[in-house]
A and B are shown apart, each in its own frame.
Chain A
Amino acid sequence: MKAKAKSLKKNAPAIPILVWIGFLVGVPLIFVVVLSFLSRDNLGNIVFKFSLDNYKRMFDPIYLRVFANSFLLAILTGFITLIIGYPVAYFTTRLKAKKRSFVTALIVLPFWVSSLLRTYGWVILLGKTGLINNVLVGLNIIDQPLNMMYKFSTTLIGTAYMLIPFMIIAVYNSVDKLDRSLLEASYDLGAGKWKTFFNITLPLTIPGISGGFTLVFIPSLGMFFVSDLLGGGRTVFLGNLINTQVTRGRNRPLAAAFSVGMIVLVVLVLLIYNRVTKNKGRELF
């Protein structure tokens, strides 16, 4: 009893935050879940009648394809940001303190500009009369402008670009915390640079990698404006589907069901993340 009171006292400052989060995240979430079991009338108004139809419709092949599209986009975004982000994070930790804070500032800098604006930047770069095509045509490297816009890969470029700072920061933190003496021990025992990297550094930074992967995977499911602007609506992703169901389709219960589906997808990824980091924790520390 006493211990409980003590921990309550210790955690008291957290209570307002918990109330705040509970209110702003919990209540809307309950709203969404309840909504997903309701139906709507012809005018798009909510009808308070329990129904599983929305979930049944979610398993319609056309919507399953949307889930698959989103999953693929999120996974690929994770891999691309990892492949580009890991070396960046790795070499940043090697820099001298001053340079290092400069580089980290550069990595965070894009967040100062609206993401919508930055997406428009890509539109200007990649368009048929965009910067890249103009330069290439101007230098006579190509004679017809390349079609780079409105493809799955264009959307992928957009999400990867948008989310790569999360990957870099996550990996950076974990490389930074690495115990240098382990590396020295590895060198002392005769392992080369690559061997040390693959046997020591990489396994030890897996928590950072999976953390970064999760941080990238989850938001990439919802960045509907990126696929709207760069994908030209040619591939439908979950975010777009939910957006159009709420606005044009006026089918909020169905949109709620898709949102729940998306949350389930996210929870799955979080569970995997938990497993990966937990195992590592037990093995190594």
Chain B
Amino acid sequence: MKRYAKVVFLLAALAIIFSLSGCGEAKPTIKVFNWGDYIDESVYEAFEKEYGIKVIYEDFTSNEDMYAKLVSGGVDYDVLFPSDYMIERLIKEDRLEKLNFDNIPNYKYIDERFKDLPYDPENEYSVPYFWGTLGILYNTKMVDEPVDSWDILWDQKYKKEIFMYASQRDSLGVALKKLGYSLNTRNEAELEEAKQLLIEQKPLVLAYMGDDIKDKMIGEEAALALVYSGDAVYATWENEDLAYAIPKEGTNLWFDAMVIPKGSKNKEGAEKFINWLCDPENALANAEYVGYSTPNKGAFDLLDDKLKNDKTAYPDGDIMEMGELFVDISDVIGLYNRIWDEVMTARD
């Protein structure tokens, strides 16, 4: 019996130690949950100095990871940076706070084109942070024809010279766009067609990967790759032979935006932080650091000419015409998962 008493005592002591470590914060804090390497650290350090609010910064690697952590409970983040379809889902599930725009006067710098977006049509919950497109990164030494269509990713000439994303919505989205369908389709027949197309493509694909693709392309491991524009900006700057194209069939246009989840303990501090990131100077620092396209007009005007004129990051024409935003398809996620598993497990 005595032994058990000891164990209980030890456990109790441990519990007390853990609970104590959370106390003793005199300074107000905000907890920020963002993508890895997605902010210029000096920007939030300056925020801490300016407002005396401590920023606790954590990062995630995918919307799904972020979502899992958020709904697991026991977390109290104040600012999140999810993507469009995830914001739509969080709104649907009533997990987000409405923003008080009186505390975010710098919202006026956000380009009008990036307001009223489908995931937050009334602009109540989110402030865009970065945006981009999905396209083809190619090596001009290995590809000497013009790249303007997804068809090139199905060209036998480039057997084992193609990288695809290992994420289902991106790769399926490409197949759907090539077929002329919406990349948010809920139609099983259309998805089956897309699946066939991707299985057909499999022998041509060198590998299905994630963030590594940009480094592999810089290292000239393959001729063509599916990449996001932000990665393409980085890659084309690192290797001059690389170029980026948005296919004419249309592509995915995406936004990452700042939101405040329910359960935030310092909503006002969070709004101050969002406002701080919308300040043109700060947005500029982030845009230069991250390399993705800023929706902040004030920051865009301040960009140096090289980035401002980079058609990879800031393409000409009406970007809303070129791209379709992802919509939350979690009601048919089972179908998407099955289709994708069939693609990935298929033999070439």
Q: A residues near B, CB below 8 A?
A: 12, 15-16, 19, 42-45, 62-63, 65-66, 127-129, 147, 149-150, 228-229, 231-234, 236, 241, 245, 247-251
**B206 & A248 in contact (Cβ 8 Å cutoff):** no
A232 touches B208 (CB 8 A): yes
Residues of chain B at the chain A interface (Cβ within 8 Å): 3, 7, 62, 64-65, 67-68, 71, 89, 93, 160, 166-168, 202, 205-209, 212, 216, 219-222, 330-334, 337, 341-342, 344-346, 348
Contact call A43/B93, Cβ cutoff below 8 A: yes
Decide if A233 touches B71 in the complex (CB within 8 Å).
no
By Cβ-Cβ distance, the 6 closest A-B pairs, closest first, are: A232-B207, A233-B208, A150-B207, A62-B345, A42-B331, A233-B166
Provide the residues of chain A in CB contact with B67, threshold 8 Å: 44, 250
Verify B221–A248 contact, CB threshold 8 A. Answer: no
Whole-angstrom distance between the alpha carbons of A231 and B7 in the complex? 47
Contacts of A231 in B (CB 8 A): 207
Q: Across the interface, do A44 and B209 meet the contact criterion of CB distance under 8 Å?
A: no
Residue pair B333, A42 in contact (C-beta under 8 Å): yes
Q: How far is the CA of A241 from the CA of B337 in the complex (A)?
A: 11
A150–B167 alpha-carbon span in the complex (Å): 17
Is the pair A234, B220 in contact by a Cβ cutoff of 8 Å? no
Q: Select one of B65, B93, B221, B330 contacting A247, CB under 8 A.
A: B65
The one of A65, A128, A229 in contact with B221, judged by C-beta atoms closer than 8 angstroms, is A128
Are B221 and A234 in contact (CB-based, < 8 A)? no
Contact B64–A250 (Cβ < 8 Å): yes
Q: Which residues of B contact A250 (CB under 8 A)?
A: 64, 67-68, 330, 333
CB distance from B128 to the nearest CB of A (A): 24
A232 is contacted by which of B65, B89, B209 (Cβ under 8 Å)? B209
Contacts of A66 in B (CB 8 A): 345
* Residue in A19, A45, A62, A229 whose beta carbon sits within 8 Å of that of B341 in the complex: A62
- From known contacts A62-B345, A236-B345, infer whether A127 and B64 are also in contact, taking CB-CB under 8 Å: no
Contacts of B332 in A (CB 8 A): 42
